[in-house]
Structure 1
């Protein structure tokens, strides 16, 4: 990241140095010097843009995988407690945590925050599993499995909180803005009277830079903007709970 910023600044200095030397010695080469500098700045801009896009895509993919892993742990925990007759309250807490994650966490995760209500539900869920007193060895084994799943869910929730706080570092946006400004402004240093073609070229350059910066900002957060992760995995888990209840009806 630091290298990209240093590279952007270096290209900017080189561009102006070329303009200073060649522009003063031979005014006829001024235009070609500016073109050369603009191309260098454009290369840096596209490099930063591509690198930022790859980082955003990777961050989105990792966060989506983490969400799916948490939903799978919830489903496996529901499977673990379903055969235990006295575990009906635990089933209800699993459903409650899943619903609260969807309704309370997701609206806040776009703002890099999470609700404390599902966290308290998760703590109550762990305590409820510990308080279970299965009558046979199979029930005790399922209880241990459920406790392991609770630990997985707790870890997955912490990871999801980290993902919600994650995002593209501002250094990339700064690098894009610097190199983009060079691409836009260097041709104006010639002091040539604008023509229709030059105005169109200016508008194209400004549009390309603005679209690139805006696009990166829109995909820079995994739970906000274009392609934001939705709680589809949690909603799918809720449907699986119903299927599990069909095989192991809850007992009062």
Structure 2
């Protein structure tokens, strides 16, 4: 942060130094008024900088949300595959594993999803997954089919754990704070620049200025609203897990 501040100070200082030297050398002419070359150039650069920051502030959350949505599909599919594999385990062990999987999904949808909007996952969810892994690992089965089913369930639980870890990362993902601050600052400067350059709009000229300010305000609000993948207008919903819940009844139970 200190390096960034020093760079800004150095750049501003270079501009004033250049202006002083050129004035001393009597090179060029005075450039005054809101329609001057300097004002036009500065206005164009400010608009470009705002558009760049705003575009990044929109694209980053959109990409993160798409990635998080795909990850929930991967996690849900791993759970469903584990449920299918558990059906091949002998009862009552297979029935217990299937019940644990149903409870795990229900916990994600009903409890954990609300917590993810705050940027974290529940420790209880991790504990449930660890208990399920230990439950399957400790199973004593005999026969090729049962051994294969047990191995498959353990593989799918590892996939679930990996996807859950990625979901924990997704829950913490936000655009860089500096980017959001830069977007706000440039938006304010874009709105205020005509006044800073010396223009004094009156009458009907105030309408486009007011409309621009209103639209920029809405845009900034939206960029903050979609900045987190599990909250706001662009939030990822637990659709993948509710789909798994709907699929469970179609899967045969362990016998």
If the length of structure 2 is used for normalisation, what is the TM-score? 0.84
Question: Which has the higher mean CA deviation after the structures are superposed, 69-78 or 123-132?
Answer: 123-132
The question of 1:227 aligning with 2:205 is answered no
Question: Does the C-alpha gap of structure 1 residues 120 and 196 become closer, same or farther in structure 2, counting only changes over 3 Å?
Answer: same
Question: Does the C-alpha gap of structure 1 residues 37 and 198 become closer, same or farther in structure 2, counting only changes over 3 Å?
Answer: farther
Deviation track 1:136-175 (CA, whole Å, cap 9, x = no partner) reads 1110011011111111111111110110011111121111
The question of 1:243 aligning with 2:242 is answered no
Q: Write the distance in 2 (CA, Å) between the matches of 1:127 and 1:110.
A: 29
Question: How far apart are 1:103 and its partner, in Å?
Answer: 1.0
- For residue 74 of structure 1, what is the aligned residue in structure 2? 79
Residues 152-191 of structure 1: pairs in structure 2 closer than 5 A = 152-191=159-198
- For residue 26 of structure 2, what is the aligned residue in structure 1? none
Question: How far apart are 1:204 and its partner, in Å?
Answer: 2.4
Structure 2 runs not aligned, ≥5 long: 24-28
RMSD over aligned Cα, in angstroms? 2.9
Deviation track 1:182-207 (CA, whole Å, cap 9, x = no partner) reads 21122112444440233223312322
Q: Write the distance in 1 (CA, Å) between the matches of 2:179 and 2:82.
A: 41
- For residue 85 of structure 1, what is the aligned residue in structure 2? 90
Structure 1 runs not aligned, ≥5 long: none
Q: Write the distance in 2 (CA, Å) between the matches of 1:29 and 1:222.
A: 42
Residues 134-149 of structure 1: pairs in structure 2 closer than 5 A = 134-149=141-156
Question: Does the C-alpha gap of structure 1 residues 133 and 26 become closer, same or farther in structure 2, counting only changes over 3 Å?
Answer: closer
Question: How far apart are 1:25 and its partner, in Å?
Answer: 1.4
If the length of structure 1 is used for normalisation, what is the TM-score? 0.85
Question: How far apart are 1:102 and its partner, in Å?
Answer: 0.7
Deviation track 1:45-89 (CA, whole Å, cap 9, x = no partner) reads 111111222211110111111111100000010111111122111
Structure 1's consecutive aligned runs of 4 or more residues displaced over 3 angstroms after TM superposition are 16-21, 26-33, 190-194
Deviation track 1:200-234 (CA, whole Å, cap 9, x = no partner) reads 23312322321221111111111010121111100
